[in-house]
Amino acid sequence: MIIDFHTHAFPDKLAERALTTIAHPDWPAYLDGKVSSLIASMDKTGIDLAVVCPIATRPEHVEGIFRWCLHIRSERIEPLASVHPEGDDALDWLKDIAGEGLKGIKLHPMYQEFKIDSPRMLEIYAAAAELDLMVLLHCGQDLSWPPEDDRATPERIDRILSAVPNATFIASHMGGWRMWEGVDRLLIGKHCILETSFSLSELPPQKAVDMMRRHGIDRVVFGSDSPWSDHATEIARAKSLPLTAQEQEKLLYANAARLLGR
């Protein structure tokens, strides 16, 4: 069984425009951005459940994303909601998100324009932790921004983990895309969950496994970042890692199922 902890989809009427807006020439979309297409890809590749991660790029988008998450939630789709740090009602939305039984929120410092360890963000993380909501956070570089953009560095993540020790953080892209030295030095072994999207193609397999084992294989989950990656390719990369059968089962399914209460 497989759970993909990091996917993206959009309402059908917005999907084409959203993909066109976000598109990067080096990372073409493999799907059309619709939930139906995501599920069809899951069916082809043996994925049982996908976590869908919308991002509220403006405060006024929060309610629509929240309503859409409730609409698409199913046995195959576990959506995370989103809040925007500039929204005066962000903490109230966290209460609504928890009240409806959604598992957490997705945040992206570049698209939402914040530094991940700012005082406002620490307030949001602390409120999410009190409500038992996980926070899936973009970590490291993003191809659409200059490599020197420092809003999501391992150093900032480390500060978050110290400031909000009771939060459940999912650190995407193995804790910091293309910032592996900082991840290795500051985050391995800390109390966060590492998620693999866009990392297994960058890290040598033995290096990836070494990081997972030193961090604790019970605290690593598989993610694809679909539609920006191909499910079959990402699953093949994960299955080719030199892990034991038990470790692979934890990576691909058991750890995520535990986090999601499945």
Beginning with the edge strand found earlier in the chain, give each strand of the sheet holding 220-221 in spatial order: 104-107, 134-137, 169-171, 193-195, 220-221
pLDDT at 21: 86
Number of independent structural domains in the chain: 1
Q: Which residues of the chain have pLDDT under 70?
A: none
Helix/strand/coil for 61: helix
pLDDT at 108: 98
pLDDT at 95: 98
pLDDT at 28: 86
Q: Are residues 208 and 184 in contact, defined by beta-carbon separation less than 8 angstroms?
A: no
Q: Any idea which residue has 């200059």 for tokens?
A: 146
pLDDT at 20: 87
pTM, two decimals, is 0.97
The residues pairing with 52 across neighbouring beta strands, listed in sequence order, are 7, 79
pLDDT at 22: 84
CATH number at residue 227: 3.20.20.140
pLDDT at 25: 79
pLDDT at 146: 94
Q: What domain range is 181 assigned to?
A: 3-260
Find all residues with CB under 8 Å of 78, minimum gap 6, and list them. 49, 50, 51, 52, 103, 260, 262
